[in-house]
Chain A
Amino acid sequence: MPGSIWVHGEIGADGGLARISTEVATVGRALAEAGGRELVGVVVSAEPAAAAAELARFVPRVMAMTEPTTADHAAGTIVGQRLAALAQREQPDYIVTGAGAEGRDLAGVLSALLGWGVLANATSASWSDDGPLVVMSVFGGKLNTTSGFTGSRGIVTVRPNVATAEPAATPGSVEPVSVEGELSLPMVKVVDRIEEATAAAPIEEAKVIVAGGRGIGGPDGFTMVQELAGLLHGAVGATRAAVDSGWIGYSQQIGQTGKIVKPQLYLALGVSGAIQHKVGMQTAETIVAINRDPDAPIADFADVVVVGDLFEVVPALIAELRARQV
């Protein structure tokens, strides 16, 4: 019988299942149905119960492994070792995980330990006679490639927001599992967790992003960006120029050396749309720009450009949205 497809259930900031994993599970389920493979969820954590139960809404069977060390150690290497040992025993053919920081750490460890290849940053996946085919956006969105594995096993990482999470028709079951053996790779202790008072909503999974660029002019301008984002139930994003100027934290940066996002609405305020930023946001479903310069590069790929002073247009937009909500 051909090997199963595993979907990895990542632990989110609240200790439950990370949202990316509900999308990963949905992508994995479509592959399993098309390929006639068994679909299995896997969760490895100090307290896997909540995430495993949530993952079971999406897949028929979830294996939950309690691994106490992840409570106060960096998780990627530990989870990778445990999953690699479990995979050597259970012999799945494919493991699907998220393409965020946690998923990448995990995929790298699994790839090295199992000797499997990685198809990274999938924007969609389909099934062929040779297993999964994965579409990726490369060269800053200039090209979409379709790639497959040369062998019969591999790891796929899936970008956030490329699939709509859909629970299965019937919920699955959770079973505890364990593997023998020591963790041989060195552990990295978490000696402190620093919560930032100003921690902003994460941009990777946001449906709406309001982003500020150089044209925002300073940290005060981001108060306005924040207000608009709040009204639209969205997150605040930024260009590298705004981050380098210290107006907002790096975790909000979109682009080549920041994050790649795919929201339903991307509202760009004072963002020129240079290639380094464009690569991070051009696949947004709707792009709206407010910019003084009608010839800014963003005018070439936005759906709507409002030409004007953002310090006049944005307050008017905020007022209009407030009026609508009353």
Chain B
Amino acid sequence: MQIVVLVKPVPDPAAGAERLTPDGQLDRAASPAVVNANDEYALEAALKLVTAHGGEVSLVSMAPAAAPETMRKALAMGAHRGLLVTDDALPGACTLSTTRVLAAALRDLEFDLLLAGADTSDGGAGVVPAGVAALLGLPYLSYAAKIEPSPDAGTVRVHRIAPNGFDVLEAPMPALVVCTQALGEPRYPSLKGIMAARSRELATKGLADLGVSSDEASGAVATTRVVDSTTPPPRPPTRVIREPADEAARQLVAFMAERRLI
């Protein structure tokens, strides 16, 4: 099986250094980058699937030119190759431009499954995978807790997380599957993986290579813009209750009653 995983370098949420540039774009220089957490679940799922069924995993990312370092980390987990789409016209691109660029990059690739994370920790719109599937005419199976391909039948089954359990979806491959944490904990790169990642192919393409004009997708044609940003007001000071359990419970119930929460 050939599996493509969409990955995005995002500011490390744990570092807490995210900020915007004066013109309202994400300041990618301000914060160390990591692979978006939901994309790691997608990559882990892909690696398990090729272990079970054979095949290879390729990464596709649209990111700034400095992204290879982050993509090497994803390669070190075991992906076989990567494609980075980067272009001076892309900073400030909106979700629609991202959708169009990724669709153009994927159009030339052959794969059975295309996996994407449910959303990213920076933008967080969670709309790009559905758009990519629509532009490529791929079956779209979202919010997967389980992925079961049948390579012989050329179909894939997915347990989609639903309000009361799961919807079991089935579609022919190639198909796009949106991945969640329910698929399982991502592996840590092994030393062997880190060494191997250094020699794995990491290709770079620009908009012209994909035949995409900057009128279709770029920062200049962004459909949305940030007009203002404010720091939320700090939460009020914390009240600390250090009493024996019964008294603490009484005070807590009084507090909740005062706030009309019970």
Contact = CB atoms under 8 A, between A and B. Distances in A.
B96 A116 contact: yes
Contact of A305 (B126, B241, B256): B241
A162 to B, nearest CB: 14
Instruction: Tell me what chain B mostly uses at the interface: helix, strand, loop, or mixed.
Output: mixed
A19 B181 CA distance: 25
A87 B167 CA distance: 29
A319 B123 contact: no
B135 to A, nearest CB: 5
A108 interface: yes
Nearest to B38: A257
Contacts, number: 298
Contact of B125 (A118, A305, A315): A118
Interface string A7-27: 000001100000000000000
B238 to A, nearest CB: 5
Interface in B66-100: 94-96, 99-100
A191 B169 contact: yes
Interface stretch (A60-68, A88-96, A174-182, A295-303): A295-303
Interface residues of A, number: 98
Contact of B248 (A13, A144, A193, A306): A306
Contacts of B21: none
B109 interface: no
Given A188-B171, A320-B249, A257 B41 contact: yes
Contact of A137 (B160, B223, B232, B262): B232
A206 B214 CA distance: 44
A309 B242 CA distance: 11
Given A104-B127, A147-B224, A149-B223, A257 B14 contact: no
Contacts of A147: 24, 224-227
B123 A120 contact: yes
B172 interface: yes
Nearest to B131: A112
Nearest to A104: B126
A303 B168 contact: no
A107 B255 CA distance: 41
26 contacts: A99-B126, A104-B126, A105-B130, A107-B127, A108-B127, A111-B96, A112-B134, A117-B94, A120-B126, A137-B232, A139-B11, A145-B226, A146-B228, A188-B141, A188-B171, A250-B161, A250-B180, A250-B182, A251-B161, A257-B38, A276-B13, A300-B238, A305-B239, A308-B244, A308-B245, A316-B245
Interface of B: 11, 13-14, 16, 18-20, 24, 37-38, 41, 94-96, 99-100, 103, 118-119, 121-135, 137-143, 145, 157, 159-172, 175, 180-182, 185, 222-232, 235-236, 238-246, 248-250, 252-253, 255-256, 259, 261-262
Interface of A: 12-13, 74, 76-77, 80, 99, 101, 104-109, 111-113, 115-121, 133, 137-151, 154, 157, 184-196, 199, 202, 208, 232, 240, 243-244, 250-251, 253, 256-258, 264-265, 275-276, 279, 282, 286-288, 294, 299-309, 312-313, 315-317, 319-321, 324
